[in-house]
Amino acid sequence: MNKDELNLNSFGQQLIITGLTRLVEEEGYTAHEAFRLLETIKRNTFHALLEIQKESKTK
C-alpha cells in the first residue's frame, strides 16, 4: 500500500479522522472550517515532526 493512500487500519489515520469528525459533530465546526484548521495544524507542527523524524533515524 502506498503511504499516500487511506489506510483505515492505521491507528494514526484513525485518530486524524476521529479528530476531524469530532470537530464537526461535537465542536460545531463546518467541514470547511475543520479542514482550514487542519492546514493550520500542519503548518504549526511540520518542523517539529521533521525533528522527530531525524531523531528516530539516528537511534
What's the Rg (C-alpha) of the chain? 14
Query: What is the mean pLDDT of each successive set of 10 residues along the chain, which is 59 residues long?
Result: 93 98 99 99 98 92
Identify the pLDDT of residue 7.
97
Gap between the Cα atoms of 19 and 27, Å rounded: 10
Task: Note whether 37 and 29 are within 8 A (CB).
Answer: yes
What is the pTM (predicted TM-score) of this model?
Answer: 0.85
